[in-house]
C-alpha cells in the first residue's frame, strides 16, 4: 500500500485529522513536486513526475502510512454489518501493526463481503 499512496489523499487526511497548516505545508513540500529519472540500458530517461507512494527509508513514511490507514480502520470499526469479537465491554474488529491488518469477526463469511467492500473503497 505504501507505493500506491495517493498524495492528494494524504493531504486530505492531514486536513481531516486536524493537523495544522505548517504540517500540511511540510508534507506538500516533501511530496507534491517530485520528479525522477531512471537508467535503462545505460541511458538516462527524461524527468517524469512521481504522483504517489512514500519515500522508502524516510523516517516519516511509516507515520504517514498510519495516518492514512486510520481512515480504513475507522470505516471498519463503524460498519454495523461487520460484527467483531467481544471481550467484556469492548468489540474488536481489526488490529493493525505496521502494514499488517488482522480482522476479528464473528462470522467471517458474512463479514468478508463487507470487509472486501471497505478495502476496495479504500484502495
Q: What are the tens digits of pLDDT across the range 68-105?
A: 888 889 999 999 999 999 998 899 999 988 778 899 99
Strand partners, 7: none
Judge whether 23 and 29 are in contact, CB under 8 Å.
no
Check whether 5 has a pLDDT greater than 80. no
The domain limits of the chain are: 7-122
Contact call for residues 93 and 77 (beta carbons, < 8 A) = yes
Q: Please, where are the H alpha helices in 21-107?
A: 21-31, 61-78
Chain segment 8-33, per-residue pLDDT in tens: 888 888 888 898 899 988 888 888 88
pTM for this predicted structure: 0.68
Amino acid at each position: 500500500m505504501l507505493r500506491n499512496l495517493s498524495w492528494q489523499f494524504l493531504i486530505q487526511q492531514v486536513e481531516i485529522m486536524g493537523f495544522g497548516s505548517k504540517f500540511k505545508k511540510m508534507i506538500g513540500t516533501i511530496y507534491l513536486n517530485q520528479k525522477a529519472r531512471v537508467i535503462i540500458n545505460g541511458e538516462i530517461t527524461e524527468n517524469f513526475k512521481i504522483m504517489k507512494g512514500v519515500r522508502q527509508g524516510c523516517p516519516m513514511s511509516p507515520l504517514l502510512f498510519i495516518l492514512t490507514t486510520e481512515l480504513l480502520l475507522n470505516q471498519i470499526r463503524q460498519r454495523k454489518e461487520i460484527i467483531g469479537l467481544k471481550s467484556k465491554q469492548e468489540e474488536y474488529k481489526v488490529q493493525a501493526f505496521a502494514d499488517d491488518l488482522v480482522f476479528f469477526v464473528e462470522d467471517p463469511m458474512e463479514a468478508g463481503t463487507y470487509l472486501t467492500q471497505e478495502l476496495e473503497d479504500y484502495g
